[in-house]
Chain A
Amino acid sequence: MTPFDKAQGGPRDFPVIFDFSVPGRVGSSYPNPDVPDTPLEQLIPASQLRKEPAALPEVSELDVVRHYTRLSHRNFSIDEGFYPLGSCTMKYNPKIHEDAARLAGFARLHPYAPAEGAQGALRLICELEELLAEISGMDRVTFQPAAGAHGELTGLLMIRAYFETRGERRTKVIVPDSAHGTNPATAAMVGYQVVTVKSDARGNMDVRALREVMDGSVAAIMLTNPNTLGLFEEPILDVEEIVHHAGGQLYLDGANFNAVLGVTRPGDQGFDVMHMNLHKTFTTPHGGGGPGAGAVGVKAHLAPFLPVPVVERDGERFRLDDQRPQSIGKIRAFYGNFGNLVRAYAYIRSMGADGLRQVAETAVLNANYLLARLRSRFDLPYDRLCKHEFVLSGARQKRQHGVATRDMAKRMLDYGFHAPTIYFPLIVEEAIMIEPTETESKRTLDEFADAMLAIAREAQDDPEVVKTAPHSTPVKRLDEVRAARQPDLRWRAR
């Protein structure tokens, strides 16, 4: 029995909330007005009054509870099982963090509450900045970005402002061919031309190729380290030398920070600015696609450009400072995804220095263990020690048995696991990117490895079962082409 049997919709379509709607039914309870019942037309011009009420469903409270509970059963979460999505750091999200973030003093605090009424929240932000500055080796940290990509935007905007104040016109940003799609997309949003540099045979940035393109027109290089192949950039010091020598800035995409906590600090590697995905390394739950929180750390020379406001400490008093004339401005309203800052703060305080180091060591141990167990049955394009994740290739299965990586990923679902990240990074054919994280036990890793090996055997002995997978999920393989050709993006009354 798979975990999904209970949620199978059977032969029928699983209903949408609108299907339960019955005219006149209600699901909420609000008081009648305790203020005068003035006719609405006296409060608002008739032309502004809504003519047709919004066609929201008319359902009871139990309808709502049951529908969304059933939907939750048609989902897959870390709470339910192993989630080895490479690059996403799907580690356990502690329950105590949820209690902490929901304390009324945090959850019910208005962002414009006067500073004297927000000292606890401001202290938390300030202390979290101090903790992450130490962990990353950066001088200042902002928490305004809502996610990693938003952090990239913030970082590149600061770099752009930095060169503007120096009177330098630089037009390019270098991105390795293994980079995540957000890197080039961000560079374009900040008006930079993207120069792609290829990776070398060991999976490192190709230093010779970098030398060729690096000159005074390059504002920055965006590096991920460990990179998206799960490999530490061995020539990091050469890269640092080349980029800084030409006056460029080093940006770190810190999506993979989990691998090196307490082992090496990006600030000490020479990075000028980095983002940290608090929703990866620092356990804030992904929520099915967000909210995240992107913290951005900078060296002192970029600090004047941080988005406003920053939290400043005067002894034991805390205040918001938005009088920063060189700031890039604001990248969202208010101060960031504060609820996730509470969670990240709680995590760091509960781990301490020794705990964080164990995180990195165990994440790397787990990844190398899985790699050792799987390497004989899959192609391994870069055969080196990996860090917190590694990238296999399904090329052999594709070539020999016509079974694509996509098929094997779908088959993983039948075994009760989420699939690894697939087809990323783009430079690996039929890529399978596996990140176990430190919160998984050896038993879970073994079960997963056994499943991967079984699927490799199936690809050989019974390819059809893999190609038509999944077989035990609430729905069978979905027609993505149809979804894109005939977009149906909203429910309409029939």
Chain B
Amino acid sequence: MTPRGRGGNVTTGVERRTQHKYIPATDAEREEMLRTIGAASVEELFADIPSRVRLDRPLRLPPALSDPELMAQLRAMADANVHSDRAVCFLGAGAYDHYVPSVVWHLAGRGEFLTAYTPYQAELMQGELQAGYEYQSMLCEITGMGVANASMYDGASAAAEAAVMAKDLTGRGEVLVSTAVHPEYRQVIRTYTAPLGLRVTEIPYRHGLTDLDAVARALSPRTAAIIIQHPNFFGCLEDGAACAELAHRAGALLVCAVAEPLSLGILEPPGAWGADIVAGEGQPLGNHLNFGGPYLGMLAARQEFVRRIPGRLVGATVDAEGRRGFVLTLQTREQHIRREKASSNICTNEALLALAAAIYMASLGKAGFRKVSELNLRKAAYAREAIREIPKFGLAFEAPTFNEFVVRTPLAPEEINRRLLAAGILGGAPLGRWYPELSDAWLVCVTEQRTKAEIDRLVALLEGLR
């Protein structure tokens, strides 16, 4: 920190200061500006702050770093982490190690997109707006839904908003949430719904799938929605059509959480089998793992729910000369207009990640999206069958899976992970922390990034465990 003559007092007049590269004003300019204002010092500009609440000392912060020093320090922190370029990643559970094509962040990372605000002045922000419209369109295509918004915070909060949306749409006070939904999503759903008096009833799983008999028993005229995840947290494929039918017969909605949208390249989309709202995580669509964020909340719904969907919506319209253009629309749902009657408080969202997802989906295209999805499916199936054959290992569930599956292990999964890490492998997620009955269960993920050789090496290491 630069030594200062007078402790933490506001700088008077033109006292000499260290010129910082992010603050262009020079002492001479400050003086000139003060003259225009008619103030003798910068201190005068803070005269409205009661002295009792002023800080009478400098902040106690470590000394300022120059750029090279800063970068060295951050690199040291980054190097202390075992990331998925350094270790072979078999970890998923809601965050997926997929290949990100170079074009995605070369384009999405452009300063023109990165350093723009929410497109309040539409005429000046057609780039962001049109990308939002394209993202909405592509999300509708992959989910089979009628309408999608321009993004929510993440998959878990999108699922929670979907629960609240179902309550508003049906006027009912209870949601049935499958325990095969990501445990953190369920926690977030509980946090969001509790103050609204929306009751959350958990539905057990059986053989790795939502227990449909339990759903049927729990359904009542109070049920606003059934919430499932597909593929579910265990990687298993739910019978979504049966869930939809159960829900609809009871006058309830079916909310489908999708934590792994790449599955939609190969799986029949929720819109085709009757889901009313799809809420999910768009991280796999061109975003990095980022230690859990920023991620991309996806929210899509049946067309007729459009006026109840929370968040930003981009719509096409025309300009004064009849050319197509894009604007934020149906804003009477939103907090800045409706205040306490808004459909949500969301304001800043994850627009840049929606843009990245649009670029990713466009790059993969119709054929590529299916191909990557198929690669995930095939590689995971190969790993699953190989691990099943290892003595003392077994599969916890027999239901069909996409790119994750649950393994029963002879050693504690945490212990297996410790040994694998020493061999440069990031093992699967131990499930005991969320499911006490699954303390010997290990959720293994195999994406298109994994080679047969890496899978074979994992299998060999597991075979050699004692």
Contact = CB atoms under 8 A, between A and B. Distances in A.
Interface residues of B, number: 214
Interface stretch (A50-58, A209-217, A397-405, A454-462): A50-58
B44 to A, nearest CB: 8
A26 B377 contact: no
Interface string A120-156: 1101100000010011000000000011111011000
Contact of B156 (A106, A333, A489): A333
B437 interface: no
Contact of B59 (A55, A357, A480): A357
Given A53-B369, A135-B61, A287 B352 contact: yes
Interface in A439-493: 439-442, 468, 470, 473-480, 482-484, 487-492
Interface string B292-323: 11110000000000100000111111111101
Contacts of A260: 49
Contact of B371 (A30, A91, A473): A30
10 contacts: A48-B267, A54-B370, A236-B53, A269-B53, A287-B352, A289-B118, A329-B191, A332-B153, A368-B39, A418-B124
A79 interface: yes
Contacts of B185: 333
Interface in A258-305: 260, 262-265, 268-269, 277, 279, 285-293
B188 A329 contact: yes
B329 A147 contact: no
Contacts of A194: 339-340
Contact of A38 (B32, B46, B66, B378): B378
B78 A105 contact: yes
Contact of A237 (B50, B83, B89, B188): B50
Contacts of B339: 181, 184-185, 194
B97 interface: yes
A439 B22 contact: yes
A58 B74 CA distance: 40
A262 B293 contact: no
Contact of B293 (A67, A234, A338): A338
B188 A332 contact: yes
Contacts of A478: 122-123, 317-320, 325-327
Nearest to A368: B37
A201 interface: no
Contacts, number: 716
A147 B117 CA distance: 14
Interface string B1-29: 11010001011000001101011110001
B188 to A, nearest CB: 5
Nearest to B288: A107
Given A50-B265, A121-B81, A146 B366 contact: no
B117 A181 contact: no
Contact of A354 (B1, B118, B141, B426): B1
Given A33-B378, A361-B11, 10 more contacts: A33-B374, A48-B267, A57-B365, A75-B113, A75-B124, A124-B77, A149-B347, A181-B339, A332-B156, A479-B319
Contact of B312 (A69, A289, A348, A372): A289
A252 interface: no
Contact of A26 (B53, B114, B134, B368): B368
B345 A113 contact: no
A90 interface: yes
A428 interface: no
B196 interface: yes
A156 to B, nearest CB: 8
Nearest to A204: B48
Nearest to A189: B345
Contacts of B89: 110
Contact of B364 (A27, A111, A351): A27
Given A50-B269, A64-B107, A330 B188 contact: yes
B391 interface: no
A288 B70 contact: no
B221 interface: no
Contacts of B119: 288-289
Contacts of B29: 441-442
A43 B378 contact: yes
Contacts of B150: 289
Contacts of B197: 191
B373 to A, nearest CB: 8
Interface residues of A, number: 205
Contact of A288 (B84, B109, B125): B125
B465 interface: no
B142 A352 contact: no
A220 interface: no
B266 A49 contact: yes
Contacts of B323: 9, 11-14, 475-476
B359 A64 contact: yes
Contacts of B54: 263-264
A487 B42 CA distance: 51
Given A28-B365, A352-B63, A419 B126 contact: no
Interface string B33-76: 11011110010111111101111001111111111001101111
A88 interface: yes
Contacts of A167: none
A284 B367 CA distance: 36
A51 B272 CA distance: 10
Nearest to B321: A476
B232 to A, nearest CB: 13
B466 interface: no
Nearest to B58: A353
B349 interface: yes
Given A75-B128, A76-B116, A117-B426, A237 B42 contact: no
A77 B114 contact: yes
A475 B123 contact: yes
A100 to B, nearest CB: 5
Contacts of A49: 266-268
A77 B293 contact: no
A356 interface: yes
Interface string B107-149: 1111111111111111111111011011011101110000110
Contacts of B371: 30
A197 interface: no
A483 B362 CA distance: 25
Nearest to B106: A65
A114 B421 contact: yes
Contacts of B147: 489-490
A120 B335 contact: no
B338 interface: yes
Contacts of A69: 107, 110
Interface in B339-388: 339-342, 344-353, 355, 358-359, 361-372, 374-375, 377-379, 381-382
Contact of A131 (B61, B94, B334, B335): B61
A181 B155 CA distance: 24
B163 interface: no
B153 A146 contact: yes
Contacts of A188: 340-342, 345
A484 B63 contact: no
Given A75-B127, A189-B345, A372 B364 contact: no
Contacts of A373: 36
B66 to A, nearest CB: 8
Contacts of B47: 385
Contact of B74 (A342, A409, A410): A342
A352 B191 contact: no
A244 to B, nearest CB: 14
B82 to A, nearest CB: 3
A364 interface: yes
Contacts of B33: 365-366, 368-369, 442
A175 B457 CA distance: 60
A378 interface: no
A328 B188 CA distance: 10
Nearest to A98: B109
B329 A480 contact: yes
